[in-house]
A = this chain, B = another copy of it.
Amino acid sequence: MRGFFIANKIRNFILQYFNMTQYSFRNDYSEGAHEKILKAISENNLVQEEGYGEDNISIKAAGLIRERTGNPDADVHFVSGGTQANLIVISALLKPHESVIAPATGHITVHEAGAIEATGHKINAVETKDGKLRITDIQKEIDFHEDEHMVLPKMVFISNSTETGCIYTKTELQELSECCKSKNLILYLDGARLGSALTSDKNDLTLKEISDLVDIFYIGGTKNGALLGEAIVINKAELKDHFRFHLKQKGALLAKGRVIGAQFLELFKDDLYFELSKHANTMAMKLAKGIKEAGHEFFTEPSTNQIFPILPIALIEKLSQKFGFYLWRKTEDDKAIIRLVTSWATKEEAVDSFIDELQKY
């Protein structure tokens, strides 16, 4: 997945050397933060606050998230990134012999440098077509693990949107939720791109419904306009115990926790969180429309801020001179899947320019 079409560092060096600029659709964290968020960080900067996330700003932000998720009893903890959120949640909640069922394309499965295993837990990786787990996948894993010679699956990891840009429907999430309840599995949702999922045209879930259906999840800030920060939301009472010990032990309690609290306060006090996601989705849909109109197909149906067109190699080479993006993988017959990612900061001109370039081909 991280295969660069032209090796990233070499290309950047060349681009800088020739003073060329290239617009990047490589990810949703290339820019800094939305200006309102920068402002929020600066406000009340000299007021003395408690350390380690017990400041009034973080407390307010947590309260707001409880309100928005419709769960007044939830525990909310802020951490600095997604891998950190995942490794803390999983290591805090699983016993040594317990494992987590996850898609083979899941972030924890491939792109966290073994962070979950480093805390001692096996990931039961499941092949999927779109990065989404189904209840049949879960049943199969449960059936496979029979006795104490194998690990004991205890958690189900899903991401919404998935690493391939897909989202769960309400029906699908309800099924997963019931399945996990009936099997006494913890349902954990990685929401690094939750905003993009919730503001997708194809989405039929609300933040409250998601919060109702999963036991624990995190709301991603970094990929949605924040400088850094994810908000872990623990809904299920028995998962809350001593969570701050785990945050501290894994190096996640920032002395100035206010820096994340302030950002989430800004994101959720009005609708900034959703506005930023919506913009990213709109830009992605415009890109998708242009690509479709130019006659190209997609690996997965575009619905969020990550889209995966299948393009001729020659066209990809041409586009890569002006735009940054990742090559996902080659398909047959001289074509390849690329990943295009838009963000809260994506400029419409860049999108237009990409489509122009594509149409020239």
Contact = CB atoms under 8 A, between A and B. Distances in A.
Interface of A: 2-3, 8-9, 12, 23-24, 27, 29-33, 35, 38, 41-42, 44-52, 54, 79-88, 91-92, 95-97, 99, 110-115, 117-122, 125, 146-152, 222-223, 227-228, 242, 244-256, 258-259, 324, 345
Given A31-B48, A117-B121, 19 more contacts: A2-B149, A30-B51, A32-B42, A32-B46, A32-B258, A33-B256, A79-B251, A80-B254, A84-B252, A85-B251, A92-B95, A97-B114, A113-B151, A114-B122, A115-B248, A115-B251, A148-B247, A227-B259, A228-B255
A184 B96 CA distance: 21
Nearest to A127: B127
B96 A92 contact: yes
A195 to B, nearest CB: 15
A352 to B, nearest CB: 17
B253 A83 contact: yes
Given A29-B51, A113-B151, A253 B81 contact: yes
A248 B244 CA distance: 21
Point out which of A23, A86, A222 has the most chain B C-beta atoms below 10 A from its C-beta.
A222
B149 A96 contact: no
Contacts of A41: 32, 38, 41, 227
B147 A118 contact: no
Contacts of A51: 27, 29-30
A251 B112 CA distance: 8
Contact of A148 (B3, B222, B242): B242
Contacts of A151: 113-114, 117, 245
Q: How many copies does the complex hold?
A: 4
B38 A24 contact: no
Given A96-B246, A256-B228, A120 B118 contact: yes
28 contacts: A2-B146, A9-B54, A24-B48, A27-B51, A31-B45, A32-B41, A79-B251, A81-B254, A84-B251, A86-B251, A96-B249, A97-B242, A111-B149, A112-B149, A113-B245, A114-B120, A114-B122, A114-B151, A115-B248, A117-B117, A117-B121, A117-B122, A148-B253, A151-B245, A152-B245, A222-B254, A222-B255, A228-B254
Given A87-B251, A248-B83, A249-B96, A113 B3 contact: no
A255 B115 contact: no
